[in-house]
Amino acid sequence: KAGVTQTPRYLIKTRGQQVTLSCSPISGHRSVSWYQQTPGQGLQFLFEYFSETQRNKGNFPGRFSGRQFSNSRSEMNVSTLELGDSALYLCASSSAALRARNTEAFFGQGTRLTVV
Amino acid sequence: DAKTTQPTSMDCAEGRAANLPCNHSTISGNEYVYWYRQIHSQGPQYIIHGLKNNETNEMASLIITEDRKSSTLILPHATLRDTAVYYCIVRVGVGNTPLVFGKGTRLSVIA
């Protein structure tokens, strides 16, 4: 079956702009998580959505937001972009339901965002 | 913060077994050990996970010490395509808690 699909793969934005990234999870997966990867901070958890509800949230400013649609597709938005937001943004999907035993997460290829 | 300690880098000869250690001395009874790897410019890839028994799948074996304070990921016959950063992660067994990535071990498989 198809894997996790993230679009676009590459993006260049200017400081102050906003950006929306998209993630389509594996069919049947209802949990979508977002991570930011930078050379300095490594892989950091942004937030997780399950059945259209944000279930977990990392330690990022309010400029970072997300949502999930009824078909489990998810988007994340970053407003008022800063140079430090340049990173690889990764999306992961899993089938884990609330209070259910954890399952492995499957990652997409990521969206590389460059802020200039 | 990550609850695991891994060596920064390791080398392994192609065709030999790669043994990647991980220390998780503060692991709790309900926490599993997960391993992921990230090949350059790709998303992380799940390898294996375990609670206290040793586990094996088509990719690797996971050996967890009896006191569960450390573990070793074994790639039995490393190939050049196994060159990647390997992350050892401790994670509660239920509730879909986020994966907390540390720095990982950069494994270089050498021909």
Q: Which residue in B4, B96, B99, B103 has the most chain A C-beta atoms within 10 A of its own C-beta, making it the best mutation to test that interface?
A: B96
Band of residue A65 on the pLDDT scale cut at 50, 70, 90? very high
Q: Does A60 touch chain B (CB under 8 A)?
A: no
- Is B105 in a helix, a strand, or coil? strand
Question: Smallest Cβ distance to B91: which of A31, A92, A102?
Answer: A102
* Distance from the A28 Cα atom to the nearest Cα atom in chain B, whole angstroms: 16
CB contact under 8 Å between A107 and B92, yes or no, is no
Q: pLDDT, tens digit, for every residue of A72-84?
A: 999 999 999 999 9
Band of residue B41 on the pLDDT scale cut at 50, 70, 90? confident
Question: Under a CB-based contact definition with an 8 Å cutoff, are residues A13 and A115 in contact?
Answer: yes
Band of residue B38 on the pLDDT scale cut at 50, 70, 90? very high
Provide mean pLDDT across the span B66-92. Answer: 96
Band of residue A97 on the pLDDT scale cut at 50, 70, 90? low
User: Is residue A98 predicted with pLDDT exceeding 70?
Assistant: no
Q: Which residue in A104, A109, A111 has the most chain B C-beta atoms within 10 A of its own C-beta, making it the best mutation to test that interface?
A: A104
Give the per-residue pLDDT at B5. 96
Question: Smallest Cβ distance to A107: which of B45, B91, B102?
Answer: B45
Provide mean pLDDT across the span B80-104. Answer: 90
Give the per-residue pLDDT at B98. 87
User: Is residue A62 predicted with pLDDT exceeding 80?
Assistant: yes
CB contact under 8 Å between A58 and B43, yes or no, is no
Residue % of chain B over a pLDDT of 70:
98
Question: Smallest Cβ distance to A56: which of B91, B93, B98?
Answer: B98
CB contact under 8 Å between B101 and A42, yes or no, is yes
Element at B45 (helix H, strand E): strand B45-50
* Distance from the B5 Cα atom to the nearest Cα atom in chain A, whole angstroms: 15
Q: pLDDT, tens digit, for every residue of A5-60?
A: 999 999 999 999 999 999 999 999 999 999 999 998 999 999 999 989 998 899 99
User: Is residue B93 predicted with pLDDT exceeding 80?
Assistant: no
Give the per-residue pLDDT at B75. 98
* Distance from the B82 Cα atom to the nearest Cα atom in chain A, whole angstroms: 17
B87 contacts in chain A (CB < 8 Å): 43
Q: Does A95 touch chain B (CB under 8 A)?
A: no
Provide mean pLDDT across the span B87-103. Answer: 87
Reduced 3-state DSSP string for chain A: CCCCEEECCEEEECCCCCEEEEEECCCCCCEEEEEEEECCCEEEEEEEEECCEEEEECCCCCCEEEEECCCCCEEEEECCCCHHHCEEEEEEEECCCCCCECCCCEECCCEEEEEC
Provide mean pLDDT across the span B28-57. Answer: 93
Mean per-residue pLDDT of chain B: 94
